[in-house]
Amino acid sequence: MNIVHTSIEGCFILEPKIINDGRGYFYESYNKQTFKQVTGLDVDFVQDNQSFSSKGVLRGLHYQIGDAAQAKLVRVIQGEVLDVAVDLRADSATFGKYVSAILSADNKRQMFVPKGFAHGFLVLSDVAEFAYKCDNYYNREQERGIRYNDPALGIDWGFAAEAVIVSEKDQLLPFFFEAEY
């Protein structure tokens, strides 16, 4: 497994070792020991989630606050997405900045999103299956979000605004400077 550091400390891309042969391929999508060895982090993932979406669906930007904050390890099983993580750590030099990466079934890359980040993704392919591990359980009371198209964040989703499909809930999320972190 190879680690690719992003411009924001703590948020990185993992590239697995893929074994190809005449039958297809095999790779280990997660191994706690390898993850710790490569990243130096001892993360205890407790919940796996998966979603299926069509082209243009944007989910996010979501996070949880307080003792319900979550780190996530995200990947795409089918299709392709633009994955985005926004730094919400008030004491960070990159507070309010974001990183993005193309994650796909073809490249098998994964993004680690640490606690203190908002996360979202936009489906670029006809359909996408998105899977992620969380180190904390879902908590409705501590769930928060930021509007995906907030000009203060300036996220380049690379997609026509009128073609983006966003849930009503996500359309009503607060802007960055109004949100609770």
Is 62 a residue of the active site?
yes
The DSSP 8-state label assigned to residue 179 in this structure reads S
Stated pTM of the model:
0.96
Percent of the chain with pLDDT over 90: 98
Using the predicted structure, report yes or no on whether residue 161 has a pLDDT greater than 90. Answer: no
> Which tens digits make up the pLDDT trace of 82-138?
999 999 999 999 999 999 999 999 999 999 999 999 999 999 999 999 999 999 999
Type of residue numbered 115: K
> Considering 63, 98, 132, 148, which one is annotated as catalytic?
132
**Cα angle 11-155-8, degrees, rounded to a multiple of 5:** 20
Residue ranges with strand state E in 24-168: 24-26, 47-54, 57-64, 72-78, 80-87, 98-104, 110-113, 117-123, 127-134, 143-145, 165-166
- Indicate the pairing of strand 80-87 with strand 117-123: antiparallel
- On whether the CB atoms of residues 58 and 157 are closer than 8 A, the answer is yes
Residues 6+ apart with CB under 8 A from 152: 96, 175, 176, 177
Give the three-class secondary structure for 22. Answer: coil
Give the three-class secondary structure for 31. Answer: coil
> Which tens digits make up the pLDDT trace of 143-160?
999 999 999 999 999 998
Is 132 a residue of the active site?
yes
> Considering 62, 63, 98, 119, which one is annotated as catalytic?
62
